[in-house]
Amino acid sequence: MGGFNSFTIGASGLRSFNYYQEVIGSNISNLSNPAYKRREVILEPLHGNDQVYMGAKFAGAKRIVDYFLEKSVRSSISDFEKNNYLNNILPEIEDKISVLNENSIYSYLNLFWQALNDLSQNPSNISLRNILLNRATSLADKINSSINDYELLSQKIIQDARKSVDYINQKLKDIAILNKSIKDIETSGNEANSLKDKRDYIVEEISKYIDVDVYENIEGYVLDINGITLVYGDKNFDIEFEYTINPQKNIIYSIPSFGKDIKISNGILQGYQIAIKEVEEINLKIKSFLDFLTDSSNSSFNSIHRNGYNLDGLSSGLDFFVKNSKGEIEINESILLDPSSFAASKTPYEGDGDNCISMADFLKSGVIEGKNCFDYFSELSSDLGFKVNNAKNNLKISESIKVSAMNRRDSISGVSVDEEMMKLLEIQKYYSVMAKYINISNSMIEDLINIIR
Amino acid sequence: MRITESIIKRNSMLSIHENMSQLYDTSQRLSTGKKILKPSDSPSNIKALSDYKLKYSMNEQYKKNINFSLSRLSLVESSISSIYDELSRLREKLLQYKSSTSNEIKNNMVEEIELSIKNVASYLNKREGDSYIFSGTKIFSKSFDFEVGSDPDGQIRIQNVIYNGNFLKPEVKISDSDFEICGFNGEEISNIKGNNIFSILIDLRKKVLNGDNISSNIDQINSYLNSLDDLSVNIGFKISNLNSRIESIEKENLRISGFISNIEDIDYSVELTKYTSLQNKYNIAIKIYTNLTQKNISDYI
């Protein structure tokens, strides 16, 4: 090795450590950047023409990524976001039907039952008849407004789902564009670390909505969901959204390019599917109750009223609860216009209140889906309570799992200032050593020249 | 495991978030005094809680029904008592009249009996609001009407008293399965054990007018008064039973209130202690987080 080679070695060391410092600087400055993966410097031995060791060279900065941990983070994010969505939407569904809510169907039903009892004591009392009709109207209004509220909620969920699908499609397009840029940069022999960070971050963003998998094969980067490809290199395939009305009201996501439905197993998109089913189920239950009250068969609330006698001692023949052309429940207009036509009596005499008692008893004993009206709503409320409670617990669990997965990933890919500072101090020392090495080489050569002289 | 800043921050944030959420829940419980504000707070208890609340509210309704029945029975009792007084007064006068032969006294007696018929009928035509309380369930019909005609002395007097009500007994519901009567129909009061008080009095008036012996009529009145007495006692029993029923409903509702309270009310001392402890935990978590985030590069160099 020639004496001047020592300058080459020293200079390569100084250059390499200079790059090293730049990488550490980049790591530290991106400490708070959630998309950033820490970089590690790759140094390679520098050989001369005769394979003699000539120092070190900077071979690049490697992104530290563990793909297994990345997958587990994505999966935990999907789970957390689904539970977070359900934890927000289910209480909204729960509140409207809650038996503890004084503005619920259950409470209005109870008030109507009480009004029937009050009128049974004094069936000729017009003010009691008016109170009963007011309470029955409130009950009917509450049933209609609940159905309407749930339909609006259903529409809101569908709208949100549609927006989310559009957002995901935009993100898939972004990934395809990024893939092209990454490929171009890497083909030209450069590193595309920042773009890869950006791509991973977008994938993480998509994971909030759907549980996707990513991998790279010979032909490029692939993003798929349950085996269905959404991004393949620089090509992306749009997800389409469909809401089927019948037979099982559900949200269906599909990829028209492949003519396939996507099975969504996690993420906010699955949250929409679960929420819409809940809303539709509750709405069906309320509609069943509406049908129960407006039923005209011989074993219905209406038949009791129909067979009763009004204040004039005449057979009523009128249904009390009726369905209008919009399918809403209403009180028979003839009864509303003339409270004395309410059939409080069971016998064709004036003033008998026994029919009120029969109607009140029917509300307590009439069977709807195997339960009486009050149990029907308290069990519905309790069932939903269990679901909301589960969503709350699931959210807690999934948040812990997400934090733990992210921590495990950060323990590999995250930047530790302590570690970077230690490296910096170390590099500074190496840098001084290299500088000293050049100085010594320089003085040795000077000494040699002096001796030769 | 490498511990990075983001791990420490994330863990601190999770801890702060959990503390905040627990603090919020506890403050909600403290401000409302309830530990169950929505079904999801304790879904397993919701069915029981709503059942208790429904039972409580239905018991209150039954109590209201019983109070209605009590008020009606009191009116019946007071009417019976008035009839009793009226007939007792008449009986006294009849006993005095028996030993008299004066025409004037006889005529007075006839008018007294006529007045008693009217008074008894008026007591049995008693109304509460729009309702005739002695018409059975036919409460819009006046309970009794008169048929008038000429007596042998040429005077127009009551010849017949007609009952317009029905023979049903008005009832109210006092529990899920029981009913209790809240009154008597006029027939039950005016015609006890075959003694129709109006027929007795009309017959009596005619006998006085004809100067016939009225001993059998006085006996009938006595017998009727005894029956009225029995009816009064019977009503008294009913009132007393209904009062005990109210007491037992009140007791049951007190018990139900206890159950409801056990399920949904908080123990303030427990919640306050919990709140203070959570507040401390929250403050410590915030302090730790602040200390961690305040560190910057200069701390290392």
Predicted confidence (pLDDT) at residue A246 exceeds the cutoff of 70: no
Closest CA in chain B for residue A313: B138
Predicted confidence (pLDDT) at residue B99 exceeds the cutoff of 90: no
Predicted confidence (pLDDT) at residue A123 exceeds the cutoff of 90: no
Whole-number pLDDT of residue A247: 63
Mean pLDDT score of chain B: 89
Predicted confidence (pLDDT) at residue B299 exceeds the cutoff of 70: no
Residues of A in contact with B5 (CB under 8 A): 31, 414-417
Whole-number pLDDT of residue B301: 57
Site from A69, A73, A378, A412 to mutate, B interface, most B CB atoms within 10 angstroms: A378
Residues of A in contact with B66 (CB under 8 A): none
Q: Do B145 and B165 contact (CB within 8 A), yes or no?
A: no
- The minimal CB distance from B6 to the residues A124, A388, A410 is found for A410
Whole-number pLDDT of residue A398: 96
Closest CA in chain A for residue B137: A352
Going by pLDDT thresholds of 50, 70 and 90, the confidence category of residue A236 is very high
- The minimal CB distance from A378 to the residues B7, B50, B64 is found for B50
Whole-number pLDDT of residue A346: 86
Shortest Cα distance, chain A CAs vs residue B34, angstroms: 12
Q: Do A349 and A309 contact (CB within 8 A), yes or no?
A: yes
Q: Is A350 on the interface with B (CB under 8 A)?
A: yes
Q: How far apart are CA A225 and CA A254, in angstroms?
A: 11
- The minimal CB distance from B10 to the residues A364, A381, A406 is found for A406
Q: Between chains, do B7 and A411 touch, taking CB under 8 Å as contact?
A: yes
Which region, left, alpha or beta, applies to residue B191 given φ > 0 means left and ψ of -120 to 50 means alpha? beta
Going by pLDDT thresholds of 50, 70 and 90, the confidence category of residue A248 is low
Residues of B in contact with A34 (CB under 8 A): 6
Shortest Cα distance, chain B CAs vs residue A86, angstroms: 13
Closest CA in chain B for residue A390: B40
Q: Between chains, do B39 and A385 touch, taking CB under 8 Å as contact?
A: yes
Q: Is A244 on the interface with B (CB under 8 A)?
A: no
DSSP state of A315: B
Query: How many CB atoms are located within 10 Å of the residue A223 CB?
Result: 23
Residues of B in contact with A407 (CB under 8 A): 7, 10-11
Q: Between chains, do A416 and B10 touch, taking CB under 8 Å as contact?
A: no
- The minimal CB distance from B173 to the residues A117, A124, A382 is found for A117
Helix residue spans in A295-348 (DSSP H): 301-306, 333-337
Closest CA in chain B for residue A125: B130
Least confident range from A139-153, A162-176, B51-65: namely B51-65
Whole-number pLDDT of residue B295: 63
Predicted confidence (pLDDT) at residue A145 exceeds the cutoff of 90: yes
Tokens 């009726």 belong to which residue?
A322
Query: How many CB atoms are located within 10 Å of the residue A59 CB?
Result: 13
Going by pLDDT thresholds of 50, 70 and 90, the confidence category of residue A4 is low
Q: Is A404 on the interface with B (CB under 8 A)?
A: no
Helix (H) or strand (E) holding A55: strand A53-63
Predicted confidence (pLDDT) at residue B300 exceeds the cutoff of 60: no
Predicted confidence (pLDDT) at residue A376 exceeds the cutoff of 70: yes
Going by pLDDT thresholds of 50, 70 and 90, the confidence category of residue B166 is confident
Half-sphere exposure of A419 (CA within 13 A, CB side): 17
Q: Is A124 on the interface with B (CB under 8 A)?
A: yes
Residues of B in contact with A117 (CB under 8 A): 61, 64-65, 173
Q: Is B70 on the interface with A (CB under 8 A)?
A: no
Q: What is the pLDDT of residues A26-59, one digit of tens each?
A: 999 998 899 999 999 998 888 877 777 788 888 8
In total, chain B counts a number of residues equal to 301
Site from A86, A131, A407, A422 to mutate, B interface, most B CB atoms within 10 angstroms: A407
Site from A24, A90, A350 to mutate, B interface, most B CB atoms within 10 angstroms: A350
Q: Between chains, do B42 and A385 touch, taking CB under 8 Å as contact?
A: yes
* Amino acid at site B140: F
Q: What is the pLDDT of residues B63-97, one digit of tens each?
A: 998 998 899 899 999 999 999 999 999 999 888 88
The strand pairing partners of B148, in sequence order, are B158
Q: Between chains, do B138 and A352 touch, taking CB under 8 Å as contact?
A: yes
Whole-number pLDDT of residue B296: 56
Shortest Cα distance, chain A CAs vs residue B258, angstroms: 17
Going by pLDDT thresholds of 50, 70 and 90, the confidence category of residue B192 is confident
Whole-number pLDDT of residue B74: 92
Shortest Cα distance, chain A CAs vs residue B178, angstroms: 12
Average pLDDT (B275-287) is: 91
Whole-number pLDDT of residue A397: 95
Q: What is the pLDDT of residues B10-65, one digit of tens each?
A: 888 888 988 999 999 999 999 999 999 899 999 989 989 999 999 999 999 999 98
Residues of B in contact with A118 (CB under 8 A): 61, 64
Residues of B in contact with A113 (CB under 8 A): 58, 61
Q: How far apart are CA A365 and CA A346, in angstroms?
A: 18
Q: Between chains, do A382 and B2 touch, taking CB under 8 Å as contact?
A: no
Q: Between chains, do B54 and A399 touch, taking CB under 8 Å as contact?
A: no
Going by pLDDT thresholds of 50, 70 and 90, the confidence category of residue B205 is very high
Calculate what percentage of chain A has a pLDDT beyond 70.
97
Is the pTM for the entire model greater than 0.80? yes
Q: Between chains, do A421 and B300 touch, taking CB under 8 Å as contact?
A: yes
Average pLDDT (B178-206) is: 89
Going by pLDDT thresholds of 50, 70 and 90, the confidence category of residue B107 is confident
Shortest Cα distance, chain A CAs vs residue B54, angstroms: 8
Q: Do A110 and B54 contact (CB within 8 A), yes or no?
A: yes
Whole-number pLDDT of residue A6: 79
* Amino acid at site B131: S
List, as one string, the DSSP characters of chain B. Answer: ----HHHHHHHHHHHHHHHHHHHHHHHHHHHHSBS-SSGGGSHHHHHHHHHHHHHHHHHHHHHHHHHHHHHHHHHHHHHHHHHHHHHHHHHHHHHHHHT---HHHHHHHHHHHHHHHHHHHHHHT-EETTEETTSTT-TTS-SEEEEEEE-TTS-EEEEEEEE-S-SPPPEEE-SSS-EEE----HHHHHEETTEEHHHHHHHHHHHHHHT---HHHHHHHHHHHHHHHHHHHHHHHHHHHHHHHHHHHHHHHHHHHHHHHHHHB--HHHHHHHHHHHHHHHHHHHHHHHHHHH--HHHH-
Tokens of A336: 């509303």
Whole-number pLDDT of residue A154: 92
Complex confidence, ipTM: 0.79
Predicted confidence (pLDDT) at residue B186 exceeds the cutoff of 70: yes
User: Count of A–B CB contacts within 8 Å?
Assistant: 169
Q: What is the pLDDT of residues A62-113, one digit of tens each?
A: 999 999 999 999 999 999 999 999 999 999 999 888 988 889 999 999 999 9
Residues of A in contact with B134 (CB under 8 A): none
Predicted confidence (pLDDT) at residue B9 exceeds the cutoff of 60: yes
